[in-house]
Structure 1
Amino acid sequence: MRIALIADAFPPMRTSSAVQLRDLAREFIRQGHQLTLLLPSSSLDQPWHLEHLDGVEVLRLRAPRTKDIGYVRRTLAEIAMPIAMRRNLAKSPLARRRWDGVVWYSPSIFHGPLVSSIKRTSDCRAYLIVRDIFPEWAVDMGLMRRGPAYHFFNAVAQYQYRLADVIGMQTPGNGRYFAQWHKKPGRDLEVLQNWLDMPTNNRCSVQVADTVLAGRKLFVYAGNMGVAQGLDIVLDLAEKLVARDDVGFLFVGRGSEAVRLKADAKARGLTNTLFFDEIDPDEIPDLYSQCAAGIVALDSRHKSHNIPGKFLTYMQSGLPVLANVNAGNDIAELIRHEQVGEVCETNRLDELAGLADVLLVKIDRDREISSRCRKLFSTRFSVVSAARQIAAALAN
């Protein structure tokens, strides 16, 4: 099958979505499909650039910059992005290419015009991978009111939903957001689990043995440090445990809150906490081999369900988790049912601290906990299954 995959993240970016899309693209090739990845690029000095990476045809199309800029500029750039990509696709060697299916990854919610063009000219089915219920989560977080901005973004999101023949959502709990959409005949709604391929195991640039946390049992957080993660309570936990010389906290990554959190930890005098910039994804296994447990954090104001990519990386490496998530999130039941960690749904520091103590004891006594983590990853989050599921939906 000839598939077009549209996204705004891919290596050399190091975000979890970039790694996921790289792994999915490689798996489509392994399963015998022809894949073209369409990406926006603000660094091109020409309309397009075509390259081949691991058998994947990658077409980078010049478009406005949408990363690491202010909200207003980013919104305007995202509106222009798919229009610029569509215009520059028409100038590329693939202008007359026809695909058997088009897949796109959200976020961003703005890919609709390009998807519409490909779907129309190729007369093919369209599969939307939804990993972010925006703008709903922004309203839940108090970052946006249900005013003009919300209604604009919601209209954009609804437009991309209308283009999809199939929507793959993260968990069953998110089905309520698509109930009305699903009522129209010919539309399919399904759970598409997050996925990861096996990374290369490179030596990590972060070596705990060379730091003040050497010899401690480490809780590690690796990934985006943004508003949606609600990481302040993790710093509160570190402060509560600062007198324990056997426990430490390691934060690795970037994000809108990273600088503030690091400064806060310094202001509190947290000698049990270290921050590092993001690392290459292939260094993650070696990083985790130095740690005792992974941290999953989602702001308690969330109402949607989310299984973060970092949770998959923890499971893949056999690392049990300490989670602080919004009440009722599907991931809480998953963690408890599979016995791969401890989870707090109250956002209360005393409960989280108690669960941290429980988990540390379990790590010492439960010899099977790492095996359960790896088994959960292999049975639920395989990139092989994800690629097969998407391809099957496009072929129907």
Structure 2
Amino acid sequence: MRIALITDAFPPLRSSGAVQLRDLSLEFAKQGHEITTLVAAPELEEDWRIETWNDVRIARLKSPKTKDIGYVRRTIGEFRMPFSMLHNFRKCPLANEHWDGVVWYSPTIFLGPFANALKQLSKCRSYLIIRDIFPEWAVDMGLMGRGLPYRFFKLIANYQYSIADVIGAQTFGNLTYFTDWASRPGRRVEVLQNWLSDVPNSGCSIRICDTSLAGRKIFVYAGNMGVAQGMGILLNLAESLVSRKDIGFLFVGRGSDAQRLRRDALTRGLDNVVFFDEIDPDEITGLYAQCHVGMVALDPRHKTHNIPGKFVSYMQSGLPVLARINPGNDLCLLIEKEHVGRVCTATSVDSLGSMAQALVTDIAKDDGFKNRCKALAARLFSPEIAVRQIVEALRA
């Protein structure tokens, strides 16, 4: 098939979304499809640039800046983004090409107008990959009420849903959110699990043996440190276990809370905590090879379901997880059913601390964790499965 894949996240960005879209693009090409990935590119000087990389055609389209800026500027930039992309797409050599399917990735919720223009041009089916349900989660978190801003974002989100033929949600728990949408003829909602390609261990610029955590059992968190994660409890966990000289906590990444957490750890004098800036995604395997437990954090106020990309990366590397997530999240049942770690939905740091210590004991007694984690990743979270599922839906 000839497929157009639209995203605002792609390397050289280092976000989990960028890595996922890279892996998905490569897998489309690997399975013999003609894939063109259309990327929002605020860094471009020119209006467009076309590249070819490992049989993936990448069209970077100049667009407004939407990352690492204030909320108001970001909203304005994201609103303008699809129209800027479409405007510059019409200037490039691909403008008159036709597609057998249009796929786009959310977040962001704003790519609908561009996706619809390509869909109408080619008279083809469309597939929306949705990883979180915004603005609902922002309301759950208390970041906004149900006033004018909410209604604006809801209108944008509903528009992108309206132009999709198939929506691939992240978990079974999120399917019910789209019940009314899917009741109309020709629409379908399904679970499309997260995915990640297996990356060989090529080393890592972070050497834990050269830090104050050398020789300890390492609990690692690698990824975004923002409001949605509720990272404060992980720092509280580290403080509660500061007397355990055999346990250390490593935080790697960036985000709106990253600097605050660093300052907080310094103020508390936590000698069992080390922070590093984000690293290249290809170094993650080398990082995890030095660690013992992967940490997952989701603010308990969330009411929607989420299986974070970092959970998938831990599984792929054979790392059992310590997860503190919102009650009822599908991830809770998955961790318990597959015996790949410990999961806490309580707000008490004491409960999480008990689980962390129990997990250290579990790992010492049970040498099957690594194999169970890797088997789960291969069975559920591979790009091969994701591509086959998307293609089948586009051909239906």
TM-score, L = length of structure 2: 0.99
CA shift for structure 1 position 222: 0.4
Q: Is residue 2:306 matched to residue 1:306? A: yes
Cα distance in 2 between the residues matched to 1:205 and 1:216: 19
CA contact (8 A) 1:218 1:247 kept: yes
Give 2:229's aligned residue.
229
1:47 corresponding residue in structure 2: 47
Deviations 1:301-344 (A, max 9, x none): 00000000000110001000000000000000000000000000
- Residues 325 and 347 of structure 1 are in contact (CA less than 8 Å); yes or no, is this contact kept in structure 2? no
Secondary structure of the structure 2 residue equivalent to 1:199: coil
Separation in 2, partners of 1:326, 1:387: 29
Alignment of 1:162-177 (within 5 A): 162-177=162-177
What is the match of residue 155 of structure 1? 155
| 1:82 equivalenced with 2:82 (yes/no) | yes
Q: Could you say which residue in structure 2 is the equivalent of 1:336?
A: 336
Dislocated runs of 4+, deviation >6 Å:
none
**What is the distance in 1 between the residues matched to 2:96 and 2:379?**
40
Could you say what secondary structure the match of 2:356 adopts?
helix
Higher mean Cα deviation, 36-45 or 320-329? Answer: 36-45
Checking the alignment, whether the CA contact within 8 Å between 1:203 and 1:286 is kept in structure 2 is yes
Q: Which runs of 5+ in 2 are unaligned?
A: none
- Paired amino acid for 2:99: W
- Give the equivalent residue in structure 2 for 1:364: 364
| Distance in 1 of aligned mates of 2:355 and 2:102 | 44
CA contact (8 A) 1:199 1:281 kept: no
User: Does 343-352 or 141-150 show the bigger shift?
Assistant: 343-352
Shift of 1:25: 0.3
Q: Give 1:59-98 correspondences, 5 Å limit.
A: 59-98=59-98
The corresponding residue for 1:248 is: 248
Report the residue type matching 1:220 in the other structure. Answer: V
Q: Please state whether the residue corresponding to 1:49 is helix, strand or coil.
A: strand
Aligned positions of 1:272-291 closer than 5 A: 272-291=272-291
SS of structure 2 residue aligned to 1:178: helix
Provide the residue aligned with 2:145 in structure 1: 145
Amino acid corresponding to residue 84 of structure 1 in structure 2: S
Alignment match, 1:28: 28
The SS at the match of 2:28 is: helix
1:230 CA displacement? 0.5
- Percent identity of the aligned residues? 59
One-letter amino acid of the counterpart of residue 225, structure 2: M
Rounded Cα–Cα distance in structure 1 between residues aligned with 2:273 and 2:388: 42
Separation of aligned partners in 2, 1:282 and 1:80? 32
RMSD of equivalent CA atoms = 0.6
CA distance in 2: counterparts of 1:385 and 1:226, whole angstroms: 30
Measured in 1, the distance between the counterparts of 2:337 and 2:58 equals 40
Farther-moved stretch of structure 1 (173-182 vs 2-11): 173-182
CA drift at 1:44 = 1.6
Q: In structure 2, how many angstroms separate the alpha carbons of the residues matched to 1:285 and 1:67?
A: 26
Aligned residues, how many?
396
| Pairwise CA distance, 1:58 | 0.3
